[in-house]
């Protein structure tokens, strides 16, 4: 089975690609898990900057996969700064449809480049579903523009997204990754300690966090315990009526 998220590294630049083009890169359980793992790999690596892009011509991602919705792991677990601690810059390179939870992923990246085919929309209010991860969007762009995007489900073109401050620049069709590489080459040669400090200061003290993000951060700590060797050891020790041997992982 081919990976639904790929990771390539060259010149201190990580290229993470969503790779379910036949499903318009819908965010399934498998894709969310592999994206989380790729971001953890990036954080632990010597790479200084990452680009997140997507395979296929039609969509960066159409959001959560309604036939295989991300429940284990949950969607927030692949979001930089919530599910995965990252203190290095991440650049989104998007094209085609950027829908719902996929836009949340773009929102949590530090920079974003859209090609002219990009079509952003957030239809949760129109389909009666809400994950809540979008809420801090209102602290990242002007309030009324954020509310228009979140509440109406209206489509924002690449140019409108640029004018609203949702992306840094718009490039011709098919050139989103190339446009992102222009930023990535600068960051790959920049001081990593400075970038790390600025990323952490901004994400931890300047940018707002919505309730779903705060809940995700709390849930992350509890899941770390629930999935740990120590919890398994504790259960075994209880059943075997012995003192557990905890190892802290």
Instruction: Report, in this order, helix, strand and coil percent for the chain, each rounded to 5.
Output: 45, 20, 35
Write out the two tokens for 205: 């003290």
pLDDT for 69 equals 84
Q: What are the C-alpha distances in Å from 47 to residues 83, 89, 212? A: 20, 10, 29
Eight-state DSSP code of residue 174: T
Give me the residue label for tokens 């050891």.
233
Give me the pLDDT at residue 148, please.
97
Query: pLDDT tens digits, residue range 137-146?
Result: 999 999 999 9
Domains of the chain and CATH, by start: 5-240 (3.90.226.10)
The closest of 187, 196, 205, 239 to 12, measured between CA atoms, is: 187
Residue 74 is predicted with a pLDDT of 86
| Residue-level pLDDT at 129 | 81
Q: What is the dihedral of CA 208, 213, 215, 220, to 10 degrees?
A: -120
pLDDT digits (tens, 9 = 90+) for 96-147: 999 999 999 999 999 999 999 999 999 999 988 888 889 999 999 999 999 9
Q: What is the pLDDT of residue 211?
A: 76
Residue numbers of the chain with a pLDDT score lower than 50: none
CA 105 to chain CA mean position, Å: 3
What is the β-pairing status of strands 13-18 and 5-10? antiparallel
Two structure tokens written together for 156: 């924002």
Q: Check residue 150 and give its pLDDT.
A: 95
Question: Do residues 53 and 94 make contact, with C-beta atoms less than 8 angstroms apart?
Answer: yes
Residue 111 parent element (H or E): strand 111-115
Torsion of CA 153, 158, 159, 162, to 10 degrees: 90
pLDDT of residue 224: 78
Tell me if the bond preceding 73 is cis, omega within 30° of 0.
Answer: yes
- pLDDT value of residue 161: 98
Residue 51: its pLDDT value, please? 98
């Amino acid at each position: 089975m081919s990976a639904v998220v790929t990771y390539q590294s060259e010149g201190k630049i990580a290229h993470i690609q969503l790779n379910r083009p036949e499903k318009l890169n819908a965010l399934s359980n498998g894709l969310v898990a592999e994206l989380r793992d790729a971001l953890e790999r990036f954080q632990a690596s010597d790479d200084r900057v990452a680009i997140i892009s997507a395979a296929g011509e039609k969509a960066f991602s159409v959001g959560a996969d309604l036939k295989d919705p991300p429940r284990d792991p949950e969607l927030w677990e692949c979001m930089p700064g919530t599910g995965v601690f990252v203190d290095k810059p991440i650049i989104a390179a998007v094209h085609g449809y950027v829908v719902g939870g996929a836009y949340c992923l773009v929102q949590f990246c530090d920079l974003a480049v859209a090609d002219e085919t990009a079509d952003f929309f957030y239809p949760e209010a129109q389909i009666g579903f809400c994950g809540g991860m979008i809420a801090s969007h209102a602290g990242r762009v002007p309030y009324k523009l954020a509310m228009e995007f979140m509440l109406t489900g209206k489509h924002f073109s690449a140019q409108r997204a640029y004018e609203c401050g949702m992306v840094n620049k718009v490039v011709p069709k098919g050139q989103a990754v190339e446009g992102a590489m222009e930023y990535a080459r600068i960051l790959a040669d920049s001081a990593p300690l400075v970038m790390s400090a600025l990323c952490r200061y901004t994400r931890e003290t300047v940018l707002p966090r919505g309730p779903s993000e705060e809940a995700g951060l709390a849930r992350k700590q509890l899941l770390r315990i629930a999935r740990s060797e120590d919890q398994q050891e504790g259960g075994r020790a209880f059943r075997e009526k012995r003192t557990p041997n905890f190892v802290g992982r």
